[in-house]
């Protein structure tokens, strides 16, 4: 690990957190089964809520949301290989192995904090991992909040602007190129947040922090190594797909917060997902994107807290 780059990342993270008056307690949790450790940020007190980010991302992506959830104890994971969590191998990755990694990770976090059952808030690829965990550990999940379209479900897809990174040559090159503000603005626009970018609604300091995550950590390299196993050539590998029959077995209350402009899955995808989860509620948003809380964090915090 490049200590100079990690120092730069931690500095950018601190600036971002300070801008939003969020001062987390940092935990590093050993996961013996994975021969690795993960970082978890703890913010606030009260009823615990676990946050699982998408790919590629890290715990800081949730800061604009959790700053508005002061009545809760937010536990935010840097998933393995992301942010400051140690990487793991995705060689010969199968759905069962992916599920095992996430089960070990979440169990390890909950056990560390002596939590028997918890509400999970998730996004994008993190939502599919949360679903895989729920299928395995239903008794430990009280409620589930899904922000934006999850990966692996019927109707979801990789947007065209992201597909080049899944090609053999490009998936090595892209994460090794520096990400500039111009490039990142194109990424944010591609994720459906063009309206918020134009109207300066993206949270203060977010883009600078996210650029630092890409440029100063191994997050992109590690996440692409995982995603390319699941989406070879940009299409989901059938063995990883979450089936409707699995979704029908979910008994926990589920809240779906979905942008009508989500490039990973349209509103019909959301409605299909809602129809398969018997105890679910769908709230949709206009002028929003794949990470919809970034467009109006106060509204999303309000909806989540009412749901909990």
Which 3 state secondary structure label does DSSP give 159? coil
The token pair that represents 41 in the structure block: 């940020």
Confidence at residue 278, expressed as pLDDT on a 0 to 100 scale:
95
* Model-wide pTM > 0.85: yes
121-169 pLDDT tens trace: 999 999 999 999 999 999 999 999 999 999 999 999 888 777 767 766 5
* Average pLDDT of the residues in 264-280: 97
Confidence at residue 167, expressed as pLDDT on a 0 to 100 scale:
67
Q: Are β-strands 36-43 and 25-31 bridged in parallel, bridged antiparallel, or unpaired?
A: antiparallel
Q: In terms of DSSP H, where are the helices of 139-260?
A: 170-173, 181-188, 194-198, 206-216, 219-230, 244-247
Confidence at residue 170, expressed as pLDDT on a 0 to 100 scale:
62
Instruction: State the number of CA atoms in the 13 A half-sphere of 204 facing the CB.
Output: 9
CB 259 within 8 A of CB 284: yes
Sheet holding 280-285, edge to edge: 25-31, 36-43, 72-77, 47-52, 118-123, 141-147, 254-259, 280-285
Domains of the chain, start order: 3-307 (3.40.50.1820)
Q: Is the pLDDT of residue 112 over 70?
A: yes
* Average pLDDT of the residues in 49-60: 97
Q: Is the pLDDT of residue 257 over 90?
A: yes
Sequence-distant (≥ 6) Cβ neighbours of residue 11 within 8 angstroms: none
CB 218 within 8 A of CB 87: yes
């Amino acid at each position: 690990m490049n200590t100079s780059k990690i120092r730069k990342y931690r500095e950018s993270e601190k600036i971002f957190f300070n801008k939003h008056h969020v001062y987390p307690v940092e935990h590093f949790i050993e996961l013996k089964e994975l021969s690795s450790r993960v970082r978890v940020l703890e913010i606030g007190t009260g009823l615990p809520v676990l946050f699982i980010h998408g790919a590629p991302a890290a715990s800081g992506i949730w800061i604009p949301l959790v700053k508005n959830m002061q009545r809760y104890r937010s536990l935010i994971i840097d998933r393995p290989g992301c942010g400051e969590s140690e990487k793991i191998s995705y060689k010969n990755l199968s759905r069962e192995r992916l599920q095992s990694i996430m089960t070990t990770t979440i169990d390890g976090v909950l056990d560390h904090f002596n939590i028997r059952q918890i509400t999970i808030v998730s996004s994008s690829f993190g939502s599919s991992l949360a679903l895989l965990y729920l299928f395995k550990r239903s008794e430990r999940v009280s409620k589930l909040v899904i922000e934006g379209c999850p990966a692996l479900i019927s109707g979801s897809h990789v947007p065209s602007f992201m597909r080049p990174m899944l090609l053999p040559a490009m998936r090595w090159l892209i994460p090794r190129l520096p990400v500039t503000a111009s490039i990142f603005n194109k990424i944010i626009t591609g994720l459906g947040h063009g309206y918020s970018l134009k109207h300066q609604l993206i949270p203060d300091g977010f883009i600078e922090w996210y650029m630092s995550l890409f440029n100063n950590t191994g997050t992109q390299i590690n996440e692409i190594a995982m995603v390319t196993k699941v989406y070879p050539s940009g299409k989901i590998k059938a063995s990883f797909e979450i089936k409707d029959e699995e979704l029908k077995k979910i008994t926990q209350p589920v809240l779906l917060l979905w942008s009508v402009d989500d490039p990973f899955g349209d509103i019909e995808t959301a409605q299909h997902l809602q129809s398969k989860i018997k105890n679910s509620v769908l709230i949709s948003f206009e002028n929003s994107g794949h990470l919809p809380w970034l467009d109006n964090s106060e509204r999303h915090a309000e909806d989540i807290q009412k749901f909990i």
